[in-house]
Structure formats: C-alpha cells, structure tokens
Amino acid sequence: MRPTTDGPRVSDEILYLESEQENQNGNYPVIAVTAAEGSERWRFSVPVDEPLVPTGVVASGDAVYITEYSGWLYAVDRVDGTERWRYSTDGETRNRPVVVDDSVYFASMDGNVNAVDATGGDRQRKQAVPPRTKIAAGNRQGLIVRGGNDEENQHFSAYTPDGTEL
C-alpha cells in the first residue's frame, strides 16, 4: 500500500491509504488502518465505468470524502467505510477535497470548483475558475484557489463562501 496521491492523511489515529494493487474490478481501494498498529479497519472500492483511482482523501465529522481521478466525489462512513453518496462532475480531479462546515469543495481539471452538500451529496454550486486549479485552503471566510496551465500562467484567487471572487 502507498499513501493517497496527495500524501498520507491521518485523522483521529486512522491513516487513509491507497492500495498499489488493483482489485478484481481494476480499482485501487482506499484502505483505513489504525496508525498505531497498522491493522485494517475497512476498505473502500466501487465498481464504476472506469477504474477507481483515488486522488485525495479527507476525514471530517463522521464521514470520509474521497476524490477520484475521473471526476467522482464519494462520501463514506468513517467507522465502516460504507458508501453514503457519490457525486460526479464533468472534469477529472487531481486533488483532495476541502470540507468547510456542511460543504465539500473540490476542483476539477476543466476549470470548476464544485460545492456539494456534505450530508446528502447535492450540488450547491459550481464556480468557474481557470483550468487546472486546485483548492489551496478553505475556511468559513472562503476559499483560496491556485493553478494554471503552466508555471508562467499561475494564479491565486480568493472566493467568499457564496462563490463571489475577491
């Protein structure tokens, strides 16, 4: 196993890892293990049209949110890893989601930041941003995003929680 692509995530003594080995569905499961002993608590994988390739994991409250390469966002139960809901966007994702209050934010490579209700997975908003953007930070005051197509065209932008660009 190796840590998810955005680095190891430890939350409440649980480490979230991405398996290096494909399972029978061609997926790379997310595996929750205890940080102290390394014992497996649960394993998450779903059959989808494309193989499941996690790109980021974040735990918040009683859920774990997983972004996936082809544009999916999954919410799973923090205790047993069962799927609660899933949300799909048109663009691929490469970075972990950010959770602020009752919203999960994640950027897609097609130039959008998606805001999804953390409880039910309903879309709250889709904010157009430059392509290849990632969320650098987020809190109750808003989000800071950065990105661009190459090093010469990098940008930083700030948005209020309702999506207004500052």
Domain boundaries, the chain: 2-159
> What share of the chain in percent tops pLDDT 90?
31
DSSP characters for 104-149? Answer: EEEEETTTEEEEEETTT--EEEEEE--TTEEEEEEETTEEEEEE-S
Task: Write the pLDDT tens digit of every residue in 37-65.
Answer: 889 999 998 866 667 788 889 999 999 99
- Tell me what pLDDT residue 16 has: 86
- Tell me what pLDDT residue 60 has: 93
Cβ 123 vs Cβ 148: under 8 Å: no
What backbone torsions phi and psi does residue 135 show, to the nearest 5 degrees? -85, 120
Q: Match domain 2-159 to its CATH number in 3.30.200.20, 3.40.630.10, 2.40.128.630, 2.40.420.20.
A: 2.40.128.630
- Tell me what pLDDT residue 119 has: 96
Closest CA to 157 of 73, 116, 137: 137
Closest CA to 116 of 146, 151, 136, 88: 88
